[in-house]
Each structure stands twice: as C-alpha cells, then as structure tokens.
Structure 1
C-alpha cells in the first residue's frame, strides 16, 4: 500500500549532506540552498566546509551548520547525530554522498585503503541512514544515497568500489519499497563519470573512455526527480549512462565483463 505524498517543499527542509566539501556534495548544498533549504554539512576538511558555509549564508540567507568529521570511523554516525541534536539541528532529509574509490587490480590494492573504502561507502552510509530513518519516515522529506553506474555490473580494476555501490543501490531500493506507505522520498542516485575530485583519488585514467557529466547537471536531474509525485527508486543521470545500465541487463556476462575491462582500463 502506498500513501499520497505531499508536494516536496525544499524550503521546509533541513538537509544533512555528507561529503559536502567538494564535488556532488558541495553542489547539492548550493542547489538546495538556492531553493531555500537549511543545511547541515559534514566532511573531513573543516576549512572547505567553512568556506562553503559562508558562501551559502551570504548568497541565500539559509542556516548552515558545519561539522568536520571522518564518517569512516566506528561510531561516527551516532556521534554526528548527537552533536547536531546538541546544536538544536533537526534533520528532515539526508543525502549520503561521502565515499571514495581506488583503482587497480584487487591483488595489488592496499588492504588499509580497501577497508577504509568499505567502511565509508557501506558501513557509514548504513549507520547514518539507520540513525535517522525513524525521523525521515515520519516526515515529508527525502533520502538520497549516492551509488554509481558501477552498481549495475562488476567493474574490473575497480572491483571493491563497484561492489560497495551495488550494495548501496540494492539497500536503497529496498528502503524505497519499505517506505512506500510513508511520506519519505527514497532515491538511489547512480551517476556515471562526473567532473569532481573523485578521479584525483581513484585515478584519472578510470573511465577515460566515457564522457563526464558536470556535478551541476547530476544534481539538477536528481532534484527534479525528487519533485515527482512518486520518485525513485533509482535515477541514472544522462542518456549515455542510462544506455550503459540498460546494456548491463541484456549483455551476456562474459561479454559485459570484457567491455567493462576495456572501458575502465583494467589490466
């Protein structure tokens, strides 16, 4: 059974955005602030957060709370929620954007980096979602979990990152179904290559054969999706990325893996 959702009012939301110091996180913050949303911004780089916060307050007159934190640390989600409550911030919507990926053959990857990626991309996202899920389901806001087109098929040379994003997509789509009788909008966002700092960490050669979208376009498409009467469960921005995800459902597995190896530059 589904409920009739009220029209989404961005100006009535206080949105918690993780990984907000750059890239998609910062762009979500800018576009939400332009629509009147108050914000709670979280990332590790305090100076970047403060710079963004000052910009958004000055341009849009919204309330912006910043917290510098490493969400990959155990217990970070509960500590973050407690700190926001202490400051009187009532979160009504959540964008789990924080994450990173590394490239290369799995047997050559640094074990510490692998564990850190899983902790941030999967465990932190689940912990923070669970910390706020009751409040979100009781309201009329939204939950956006950032996955990737890598969630739609195995990604040689990017194996762990792709697997974490497959988890995010599956987890989020399940929450979409579980939340159907509430006013909560749930969307798994699966962008393709996007011009952000992501590639500085993962490697500039990853996905070099694929066109890159701008963060502005990805976020604009996502916010338009959220305004629909029944958004989700997934949004894949851009026609090229949409074709890639559709192709992954139709192509034989061996052929798909060979194609992904070429596209991602796996060795």
Structure 2
C-alpha cells in the first residue's frame, strides 16, 4: 500500500454491490482492502484491480457470521500496518420466509453480519477515520423504513443500520468524518438468490437496476457526505410514504408486495 494514498476497506467485496463499490474506490485512486469469505475470488479480483488502476489491492478472508470474525478482520488489518481513510460496511444478506418456519441459527448468523459486524468494525476503525478525516458508508436498504413481513429479521437489521448510522453521523459532526446510510431498493446483485426470495412478488418478473449502477450512486453520495441516500425516485417516494400512513397499513402493503407467488 502507498502510505500517501487513501485506503478503503470494503466488506462483502466478492460480489454484488460490494464488488461494484470496490471498483469505484479503486477507480478514484484509493488503495483497497477486499474482505469476504471467498478468498480465491477476492485474490483474483485484487490482481485485476491492481493491473487496471495502478493501485494496491489486498484480499483478506473474513467470516463475519462468526462471533470473532469482525474483530479478527480488524486485528489483521492493524497488524499489516494499514490506516483506513474509508470504511464500507457492505456485507449483509437476507432470508425469505415466515418467521415461524425460519432457522434460528441462520437468523442469528445474519444478525451478526448485518448489525454486529457493522458496529464492531465502525468502533474499532473509528480512531483511523478520525485521524484521516475519513468516510463511512453503511449499506442499509429501503427495507429500513418499515417492518417487513416474510423477511422480518432482515428488515429489522436494516432499520438498525439506518438508525445507528444517522446517530453516529450526528455525533461526528465537526470531526471531518462523515457517515452515509446507503439505502438501495431491490437490486440485481445476487442478493435474491442467497435470500431464496425468487418467488417474492417484490422481485419476481421485475427488471432491477444493476449493482454497478446502484453502487456508483451510493459511492458519490458518500463522497458528498450525504447522511442518508436512497437511489431512485420511486424508492425515495416509497420510503417517505411510510411517514404519512399508519404503520399497520405500511406493514400490510409490504406484506402484499413481498408475498410468495
């Protein structure tokens, strides 16, 4: 890594929005640290980025579902002497289905990735980011704005990410560190396959924006220091609409939009 260049850590960097965020950071001249579970895929990607953009790219295997995964990732990055200028807490996934039928171990693992890892990495890397007046982008979702039948835990985790991001953004005013809660809607990113939600009315038969398109918008919002960013006019309108209808009505609407078909 070139110590005169900015360094960004991107979690969930092997596919989807995370992979596209890495591209945006590298294109902008950041050295990048790619973290995900699939090391071989990351390593090949790192070599490709170095060749294309002339930056340094480091691949690190990280299992953020495990109890110690986030702390181990921080310890390895610290041991290698890296100082972050940007943190992209992007790793996350969903599970589709009724809560009564879901697997508790799977739900708890998802909560560790979607929430606990975000808190741990933000806490542990904040001294770096304060010293560099850096940037944080936390990938939330339009799911953060209302309860979500058929993905109850996922929606709740994203509400946590949104609330947490807005709160620490306010605390960090005046420090030079900005925090962006990035709230994309449904995206063609592989998320649906992992969540097993191909039958959901929310995505079945719909043409979705690509991960590259969505990530580029989120990256620019982060660079502007925008506190909450929702890409897409319809997504923005739907998120705002929850402020004007009773919560039980909003929940019924989401249930109808998400039900299996």
Partner of 1:208: 203
Residue 217 (structure 1) aligned with residue 213 (structure 2): yes
Aligned partners of 1:227 and 1:131: how far apart in 2?
22
Partner of 2:49: 56
Helix, strand or coil at the partner of 1:196? coil
Residue 68 (structure 1) aligned with residue 64 (structure 2): no
Partner of 2:246: 252
State the TM-score, normalized to the length of structure 1: 0.91
Does structure 2 conserve the Cα–Cα contact (< 8 Å) formed by 1:193 and 1:211? no
Residue 103 (structure 1) aligned with residue 96 (structure 2): yes
State the TM-score, normalized to the length of structure 2: 0.93
Aligned partners of 2:203 and 2:83: how far apart in 1?
41
Partner of 1:236: 230
Question: What are the within-5 Å matches in structure 2 for residues 167-186 of structure 1?
Answer: 167-186=160-179
> Which of 22, 29, 40 matches 1:36?
29
Helix, strand or coil at the partner of 2:34? strand
Using the TM superposition, give the Cα deviation of residue 211 of structure 1 relative to its aligned residue in structure 2, in angstroms. Answer: 5.1
Question: What are the within-5 Å matches in structure 2 for residues 10-159 of structure 1?
Answer: 12-159=5-152
Partner of 1:5: none
Helix, strand or coil at the partner of 2:242? helix
Aligned partners of 2:33 and 2:151: how far apart in 1?
31
Using the TM superposition, give the Cα deviation of residue 198 of structure 1 relative to its aligned residue in structure 2, in angstroms. Answer: 0.7
Helix, strand or coil at the partner of 1:57? helix
Using the TM superposition, give the Cα deviation of residue 224 of structure 1 relative to its aligned residue in structure 2, in angstroms. Answer: 1.9
Using the TM superposition, give the Cα deviation of residue 75 of structure 1 relative to its aligned residue in structure 2, in angstroms. Answer: 2.1
Aligned partners of 2:248 and 2:74: how far apart in 1?
44
Helix, strand or coil at the partner of 1:224? helix
Please identify runs of 4+ aligned residues in structure 1 that moved more than 6 A.
none
Q: Which range is displaced more, 202-211 or 214-223?
A: 202-211
| Structure 1: gaps (5+ residues) | 1-10
Using the TM superposition, give the Cα deviation of residue 111 of structure 1 relative to its aligned residue in structure 2, in angstroms. Answer: 1.0
Helix, strand or coil at the partner of 1:195? coil
What RMSD over aligned residues (CA atoms) do the two structures have, in Å? 1.6
